[in-house]
């Protein structure tokens, strides 16, 4: 029954995906659907016995047992390294670069900890020793560890230095559940980029603005702000004046309803004084109103000049000849699949419609059936044992526990050399 439901969903999505077409050059594509994937990929041994094992698996639940197979991290708290060379190295100079792949982190993810990024490398890579010190061109994909680290890493190697994005591309709670998610990076020859999550735009802009690269323009050192330049958007209203006698109103007054107690003895208790209460007439310190400044010209900025250090080819990489995953994971069970490297975003999205969109809908249908069956079995078992069953007793709690203990090993993932 589970397989039937999944295949119905998958067939519907595939039919829609095949209705369109795209054109572009594909430099690398991997679906891991056949056992020959082992001939195309080489395991790294750079950390010796600390290396984890990659297994060929669709995971614990899936829509299609064959099409949903990918490479899965089998062991906990291990380093992972695996790479595959392109049939022909290429340069993305004067053309778009599109990198896309999917990751499925099975299980509860509110405390999941593990890297999930792909690397593009040169054709001269030593695959057996592929590790953290291996030079790369681009590193892209999710980086998750508890609540502190939750982002889409996008790192470019620029003139020998690995540049992190100035601000993180944050992953929200709904972006990091146990289902398959698709990550797409699109870099254009005009030095702009777009990052997509599940085919939806997540971040975009220019490379110089997002990374520490030379900007297109610089401030004119000879330009200075005019002395009459007004940068204050608001000004005090000259027609608003303090009302006469405003400061004479006290903050407190004697309580008019207070009365001296009958048993009060001035000789023993001292002279009686009525208590003070807030004055309802008191309006607080007077503040002059503000109005829009008619002379406001906005923040002053110096004139811009062309930057002689601007690199119009910051986006470009020569000899892109291999792809690979070099990771540290605390939690196992991550499945990597459907890798695409090409020069056409439409081609990448067409591939995603044939793979990711089929997978995500099918696996969701299967997982819902599995969860519903488990819940019914748990309720039946509890009823047979004579226990009271609350409706929510067996509902999976997907909300993060704010007081959950952070995984100690997470520091390794954060501090690990990029």
Bridge-based pairing of strands 97-105 and 113-115 is unpaired
pLDDT at 410: 40
* Alpha-carbon torsion, ordered 108, 109, 113, 117, to 10 deg: 120
| Residues 217-235 pLDDT 10s | 999 999 999 999 999 999 9
Strand partners, 196: 184, 201
Read off the CATH number of the domain in which 55 is found.
2.60.120.200
Specify the number of domains making up the chain.
Answer: 1
Is 117 annotated to bind a ligand? Reply is yes
Q: Select from 230, 340, 346 the least CA-distant residue to 293.
A: 230
| Alpha carbon distance, N-terminus to C-terminus of the chain | 45
Q: What percent of the chain has pLDDT over 90?
A: 72
- The pLDDT value recorded for residue 388 is 65
pLDDT, residue 391, reads 53
Residue 80: beta bridge partners?
327
Tell whether 136 is in a known binding site: yes
How many other CB atoms are found less than 10 A from the CB of residue 70?
29
> What range defines the domain where residue 130 resides?
26-216+313-378
Which pLDDT does position 177 carry in this prediction?
87
φ, ψ dihedrals at 347, nearest 5°: -65, -40
List residues bridging with 132 in a β-sheet.
none
To the question of whether residue 143 is assigned a binding role by annotation, the answer is yes
114 found inside a domain: yes
Residue ranges of alpha helices (H) inside 82-179 are none
Residues of the chain where predicted confidence (pLDDT) is lower than 70: 1-23, 107-110, 388-418
- Give per-residue pLDDT as tens, 70-112: 999 999 999 999 999 999 999 999 999 999 999 999 865 557 8
In a domain, 243, yes or no: no
Residue 259: inside a domain, yes or no? no
pTM of the model: 0.76
Does any domain span residue 252?
Answer: no
Position 171 in a domain: yes
In a domain, 123, yes or no: yes
The two tokens of residue 34 are: 């056949």
Contacts of 33 (CB under 8 A, 6+ apart): 66, 67, 69
Check residue 418 and give its pLDDT. Answer: 44
The pLDDT assigned to 9 comes to 37
Is the residue at 271 inside a domain?
no
- Determine if residue 119 is labeled as part of a ligand binding site: yes
**Pair 252, 274: CB distance under 8 Å:** no
């Amino acid at each position: 029954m589970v397989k039937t439901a999944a295949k119905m969903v998958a067939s519907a999505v595939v039919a829609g995906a095949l209705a369109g077409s795209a054109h572009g050059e594909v430099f690398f594509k991997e679906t891991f659907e056949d056992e020959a994937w082992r001939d195309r990929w080489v395991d790294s041994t750079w950390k010796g016995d600390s290396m984890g094992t990659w297994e060929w698996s669709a995971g614990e639940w899936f829509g299609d047992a064959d099409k949903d197979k990918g490479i899965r991290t089998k062991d906990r708290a291990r380093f992972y390294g695996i790479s595959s060379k392109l049939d022909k190295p290429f340069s993305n100079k004067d053309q778009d670069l599109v990198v896309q792949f999917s990751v499925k982190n099975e299980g509860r993810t509110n405390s999941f900890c593990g890297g999930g990024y792909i690397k593009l490398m040169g054709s001269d890579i030593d695959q057996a020793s592929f590790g953290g010190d291996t030079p790369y061109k681009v590193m892209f994909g999710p980086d998750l560890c508890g609540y502190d680290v939750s982002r889409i890493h996008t790192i470019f190697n620029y003139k020998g230095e690995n540049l992190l994005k100035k601000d993180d591309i944050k992953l929200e709670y709904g972006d990091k559940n146990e289902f398959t998610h698709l990550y797409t990076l699109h870099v254009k020859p005009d030095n702009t980029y777009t990052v997509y999550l599940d085919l939806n735009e997540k971040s975009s802009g220019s490379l110089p603005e997002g990374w520490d690269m030379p900007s297109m323009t610089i401030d004119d050192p000879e330009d200075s702000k005019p002395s009459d330049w007004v940068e204050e958007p608001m000004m005090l209203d000259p027609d608003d004046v303090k009302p006469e006698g405003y400061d004479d109103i006290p903050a407190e007054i004697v309580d008019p309803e207070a009365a001296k107690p009958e048993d009060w003895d001035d000789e023993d208790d001292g002279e009686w004084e009525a208590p003070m209460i807030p004055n309802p007439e008191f309006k607080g310190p007077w503040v002059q109103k503000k109005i829009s400044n008619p002379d406001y010209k906005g923040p002053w900025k110096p004139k811009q000049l062309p930057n002689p250090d601007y690199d119009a080819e910051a986006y470009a990489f020569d000899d892109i000849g291999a792809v690979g995953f070099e990771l540290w994971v605390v939690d196992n069970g991550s499945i990597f699949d459907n890798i695409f490297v090409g020069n056409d975003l439409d081609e990448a999205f067409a591939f995603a419609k044939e793979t990711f969109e089929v997978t995500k809908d099918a696996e969701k249908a299967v997982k819902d059936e599995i969860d519903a069956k488990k819940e019914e079995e748990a309720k039946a078992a509890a009823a047979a044992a004579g226990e009271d069953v609350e409706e929510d007793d067996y509902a999976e709690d997907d909300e993060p526990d704010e007081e959950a203990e952070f995984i100690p090993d997470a520091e390794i993932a954060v501090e690990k050399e990029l």
